[in-house]
Amino acid sequence: MTTINLENTVVRSDNFITSKVDDDIVMMSLEKGAYYALDDIGSVIWEQIDQPQTVADLCRHLMTKFDVEPAQCQHDVLAFLTDLASEGMIQIVR
C-alpha cells in the first residue's frame, strides 16, 4: 500500500452509497456489502474529498472548523485517510 502524505491529492471512491444521519455519515460498500459509519469529523473529511483535494488543504480546512494543533491534525488525518485507503474508500490521484 502506498503511504499517504500531505502532498497527495485524494478523492473519495464512487463505490459507496452514503446517507447523512444527524452529523454523521453512514455508508455501504457496493462491492463488499459492508457498512461503515463516520463521526462528525470523519463526515467533514468525507464531504471535503468529494472532489480531489490535497491532504494539506484538507488539514487547513479542518483547522478552521476544529480546535486542533497542526501536527495533531496532520497525524490524525493521515491515519484516517490510510484507513480509508485500505478499505478502498478513497483514491490517491496524485
The pLDDT tens digits of the residues spanning 53-68 come to 999 999 999 999 999 9
Residue 21 binned pLDDT confidence (cut-offs 50, 70, 90): confident
Residue 14 binned pLDDT confidence (cut-offs 50, 70, 90): confident
What is the CA angle 63-68-74, rounded to 5?
70
Cβ 35 vs Cβ 89: under 8 Å: no
Amino acid 20: pLDDT:
87
Amino acid 59: pLDDT:
98
Cell 491534525 belongs to 73
C-alpha cell at 10: 485524494
